[in-house]
Structure 1
Amino acid sequence: AARLRFAKLRHQATPEDVDYRADRGLDRALFMKLLGGDWINAHDNLAICGPSGVGKSWLACALGHKACRDDRSVLYQRVPRLFAQLALARGDGRYAACNEPWAMYQLLILDDWGLGPLNEQARHDLLEILEDRYGRKSTIITSQLPVSAWHGVIGDPTYADAILDRLVHNAHRIELSGDSLRRNLPRKA
């Protein structure tokens, strides 16, 4: 319970609630294997890509929930908010203290990657986070963009090569498709 509180998962998703019947291209065997957690022990990463509303964040949180159950430290963070926090910390002198904790979590979930192009500082911050984690910890990244488009979002070719080498080199991939699952949710009055 304490691990779940500290993880700050966006969704109260559990592995038992994953809907494999939804037409979104989720490979049940692969997802069940990922729930086992061996990829976290191996310090691999996971990229979950697909259009808006197909459950990328929800699936990432279900994996995070299972990791918490397995007594692993987890932190969920939306990428746009992460960069805003780091920029604010840089402005008020807390950057070093704010940047250090990313390396300590066994699983870091970076949600909503690639919503907009990265500026110079965001590229640098992301590279530092991934460098501290590479080969030591695991990262889940969710994106509406396919991995092939990530280079363009990063912008600078040198940074893009370095970031993608640390992120995608040892990453499992889930490619989702289909219509938004939010259409089936009941509307609130």
Structure 2
Amino acid sequence: MNATRLAIIAILGSGLLAGVGMIYLQSYAGWAELDAAQVGEIQLQSVATGNLEPILAENVKGLDTVQDGVRLSGAISFRACFTTPQSLAMLTETYVIADNAEPLTTVGWFDCYDAREVGRALETGEAVAFRGAENISYGVDRMAAVFPDGRGFVWHQLNDCGEALFAGDTPPETCPEPPVAEE
């Protein structure tokens, strides 16, 4: 083999290894499946009080990039799935409906959560989105969607405060004071 062929093989080989490494880092490294205790209660905002109230939830499992109490990624990495015996009619009368819910995708191996299915169901009105905790982390709200059959999905998404902050704009006046960056 001549030097040119060796160089080509080295370039292609290192490109292949870098690609495999990137896929691993995006899809597996840092992601951890959470059990029901780690996810905690599924809470929605009450229409009557504005406070968070737990709903009945079974078969809860989640996914996040928190390991040993340290967040390895942004605050919007959290996802969870659950089932609830509570009827959708009762939930819509009791809890705040979110009109700006946009489920975020996640890693493919977390198979209980399908953001595309949830998004389509929210668009068609098959599922209903509810507000969970506002500013669970500055600029990030917890959202939940429930289907008529009791399947539920939870995710974090940026609110107006978070979108402004991350865009480098001044947050709206209704936002709490942004956190001060540590030096």
Query: For this structure pair, what is the TM-score category when the shorter chain's length is used for normalisation?
Result: under 0.3
Higher helix share: 1
TM superposition score normalised by structure 2: 0.25
Higher strand share: 2
The structure showing larger relative contact order (alpha-carbon pairs under 8 Å, at least 6 residues apart) is: 1
TM superposition score normalised by structure 1: 0.24
Q: Please tell me whether Structure 1 or Structure 2 has the larger radius of gyration of its CA atoms.
A: 2
